[in-house]
Structure 1
Amino acid sequence: MGYRFTDDDVSFLRSRHGAEALASASALELSASSMLRDVADLRARFAPRDGAIVETVLCRRRGKAKLRVAERMLFTEDAVQQATASPVAAHRATEIAARHPGAVVHDVTCSIGAEMMELAAQRQISGVIGSDLDHTRLAMAQHNTGLDGPPATLLVADALSPTSTADVIVADPGRRSGAGRVFRLDQLTPPLLDVLTTYSGRPLAVKCAPGLDYQTLRDLYGFDGQVQLSSLDGAVREACLWTDRDGEPRRRATVMRTEPDGSVQSYEVTDADADDIGGGEVGEWIIDPDGAIVRAGLVRHYARRHGLWQLDPQIAYLTGTRVPSGERGFRVLEACGVADKELRRRLAAYDCGTLEILVRGLDVNPDELRKRLKLKGARALAIILTRVGRRGVAYLCEPGVRTPGLI
């Protein structure tokens, strides 16, 4: 659960003395080997706020990989874990601003305010409101939203009790309980279906875990909005449910990548794209589509766009004569069976000593297989294990390479 912050902790951390204490703690290693010594030092100087100081510095370090100003923000451990990565939140904020210029946006589960910071950065959005039941997180949100400008308007309110006439609602139901992560729709806080019902008829964006069973949400509960799966730098970050998308695609995959200069580029695939593709034997390359495309069920749409085809109609691996720009492809050396003995023999013939293993459609544990293969060579290779029809097939490949650019 991490350290339990109090309102007094937050008041201290926001003060000049608190800022000085955080600066001192940030200079410490705070590693497993140094923690006892470092905490004793901080306790001697800053008790009884040493726990809040240590936890804040550790949360800032964890958040640095996903939030643009993490080094100045206030967090709880749970808030860091659930906070939306800044590029994903910024992409959503840009979309809301473009669709609803001049809108007031209300984040009804604002927590520590990370989403609100990106909304407030959009000039076309005229106002941002945040609400939450947790007083301490609201105090953190007041600090965080004030880092780039005036603090946002904040309310103590239940997400299921509408408290504003905002033009657009944003919600992010909690996905953790005292027992850890939760996965059922009715276990979220607040329950997802209650959020959808409460704001029925209003433009609404609900952030959910990327593993959301959106087909069940449609089939059993009648959700007829758009589902957007978003990835950043190869990792699927979230599913977002949009209710103001009448006449638009029902499924959308947004793929984002961070460029060396820090900018973020993106492309999208939707179920409005054509999906008729041919078939055939393996081509020169095998491509493993981005996870957002796979989870959105848009593999065939993506394949059609780039002249690729599937190795098997039920498997997400694609193949073709080239790799789409910005994507990672594996050049095929040969195909063989999946028995350990045959794999060991073929890999030895290539002098393989380092092996990347990708698996789809077969019950194979890559780590266990790698140990069984007992590789001793000097060459790095990749192997793609999959099913074609009812037959298991292994494709021995050169290491994966990413082509320049982005689609």
Structure 2
Amino acid sequence: MSFTLDEVAFLAAHTFDHDLELTPKTQLKDVEFLRGLYGEHARAVAELLQARRSGKLPAHWLADATSVQQATPPAVASFRAQHLAALGVEFVHDVTCSIGTEGALLRTARIDYVGSDLDASRLAMARHNVPDGWFVRADALAPVTNSGVVVADPARRAGGRRITDPAKLLPPLPDLVAAYPGRPLAIKCAPGLDFSEWDGGVDIVSVDGGVKEACLYTPDLAAARRRAVILRDGHTDIVTDAPVDPPAPGEPGRFILEPDGAIIRAGLVQHYAAREGLWQLDEHLAYLTGDRLPTGTSGFEFIEQVPLKKLKAALASYDCGRAEILVRGVNVDPDQLRKKLKLRGPAALTVVVARVDDGLAGSAAGSSRQVAFICGPRVSSSKV
């Protein structure tokens, strides 16, 4: 539930330092405690404290439960601001500004900023959060500026379901483009969006292993047609679609690993493999293999490859009592498979179950079979 303007004004005028659990189990007790201190504003205080506990935003910011869920992670907004600053962008109009996440990082990058939104409560919070930005109430499809880069974040869900068709975003992508003819655009979308027909660049961005968004750039803002941007532990790694000679799939090397989700979503598995001296286990699988783990990644040390029907006996021979089971391209439920394996013993292993083609598992050319790659437990590149 969004805050009223009165609640936003109250929250902005006070500081709150309460060590409350704020869990579903303690909600009634916590709200009663806050009601004794803040009366009719107790619900808003509780929601603000819960939003701040998410850790996504600065401690002094104002946010309600929905806005903090929808807010662009600061690391992602910071990367975009740095990208725009490097292009020489001096002014941005954020037409779906919400509580000002983009604005704060754009101002840090010394880019002038106007934010607009239809929600008066969100605008009031944005003015508190980004005091050196300019904010105006306006529809995203009704321009209030006539120059600069336009940043937009259309609603990605409708009726509780994620939208994958650009034409069904709220507002629709074609309508946004039509509303700002000739303007440079950066449009934030869900990473599962079908962007195959977008005539520009697409950045798929992940933070600490979780894919967060796809950002669609018009050609004048694009660094490449496709990029995977991996933000992890304060470091940035970028994989682009620059032409490469894709490595041929082959037998497992010393390690098996799954690339970051941003690389997979961007369709850049082969580009990443070529850069890192890796190769695919099969041309249809995102799993890679090689004799080392790239810096900052984790994977599994390969032990043995067996047909799936011989997996139980193979694991028993290793005294395996615990197994992380990963499945790709095969209709196998890991939990059900684990029950069938009846694991007993002290060893912890990893099993990658997949379908491989072209004789990679001893099958005839043109055929395929289900195989299991038995590996050691997950290990990071810093420990091998």
Shift of the alpha carbon at 1:109?
A: 0.3
**Structure 1 alignment gaps of length 5 or more:** 259-263
The AA in structure 2 aligned to 1:106 is H
Aligned residue among 115, 119, 122 for 2:109: 122
Shift of the alpha carbon at 1:237?
A: 0.9
The reply to whether residue 36 of structure 1 matches residue 55 of structure 2 is no
The AA in structure 2 aligned to 1:116 is G
8 Å CA contact 2:2–2:66 kept in 1: the answer is no
The residue aligned with 2:348 is 380
> Structure 1 residues 37 and 245, CA, compared in 2 at 3 Å: closer, same or farther?
same
The residue aligned with 2:256 is 286
Aligned residue among 118, 122, 125 for 1:137: 122
1:63-78 maps to which residues of 2 (within 5 A)? 64=55, 66-67=56-57, 69=58, 71-78=59-66
1:43-122 maps to which residues of 2 (within 5 A)? 43-62=35-54, 64=55, 66-67=56-57, 69=58, 71-101=59-89, 103-122=90-109
Shift of the alpha carbon at 1:12?
A: 0.7
> Structure 1 residues 404 and 200, CA, compared in 2 at 3 Å: closer, same or farther?
farther
1:191-340 maps to which residues of 2 (within 5 A)? 191-215=172-196, 218=197, 223-245=198-220, 249-258=224-233, 264-339=234-309
8 Å CA contact 1:285–1:321 kept in 2: the answer is yes
**Structure 2 alignment gaps of length 5 or more:** 358-367
Shift of the alpha carbon at 1:145?
A: 1.1
8 Å CA contact 2:185–2:221 kept in 1: the answer is no
8 Å CA contact 1:282–1:320 kept in 2: the answer is yes
Aligned residue among 372, 378, 381 for 1:403: 381
CA distance in 1, matches of 2:324, 2:163: 32
CA distance in 2, matches of 1:118, 1:394: 46
Shift of the alpha carbon at 1:348?
A: 2.0
8 Å CA contact 1:130–1:154 kept in 2: the answer is yes
CA distance in 1, matches of 2:23, 2:370: 45
What are the superposed Cα offsets for residues 285-318 of structure 1, whole Å, 9 maximum, x if unpaired?
1121111111111111111112211111111111
What are the superposed Cα offsets for residues 262-306 of structure 1, whole Å, 9 maximum, x if unpaired?
xx1111111114142123222121121111111111111111112
CA distance in 1, matches of 2:183, 2:189: 18
What are the superposed Cα offsets for residues 24-82 of structure 1, whole Å, 9 maximum, x if unpaired?
xx3222223322222112122222111111111111112x0x33x1x221112221122
8 Å CA contact 1:279–1:310 kept in 2: the answer is yes
CA distance in 2, matches of 1:60, 1:248: 34
The AA in structure 2 aligned to 1:323 is L
The residue aligned with 1:355 is 323
Aligned residue among 391, 396, 401 for 2:369: 391
What are the superposed Cα offsets for residues 332-375 of structure 1, whole Å, 9 maximum, x if unpaired?
11011223xx3222222212222212221112222332333332
8 Å CA contact 1:283–1:319 kept in 2: the answer is yes
CA distance in 1, matches of 2:327, 2:172: 34
Shift of the alpha carbon at 1:211?
A: 0.7
Shift of the alpha carbon at 1:400?
A: 1.7
8 Å CA contact 1:202–1:244 kept in 2: the answer is no
8 Å CA contact 2:279–2:290 kept in 1: the answer is yes
Shift of the alpha carbon at 1:245?
A: 4.0
What are the superposed Cα offsets for residues 231-258 of structure 1, whole Å, 9 maximum, x if unpaired?
1111111100000348953111111111
The AA in structure 1 aligned to 2:356 is V
Shift of the alpha carbon at 1:178?
A: 5.1
What's the % identity of the aligned pairs?
Answer: 48
The size of the alignment, in residue pairs, is: 373
The residue aligned with 1:176 is 157
CA distance in 2, matches of 1:267, 1:330: 21
> Structure 1 residues 226 and 164, CA, compared in 2 at 3 Å: closer, same or farther?
same
8 Å CA contact 2:321–2:345 kept in 1: the answer is yes
> Structure 1 residues 293 and 245, CA, compared in 2 at 3 Å: closer, same or farther?
farther
The residue aligned with 2:8 is 10
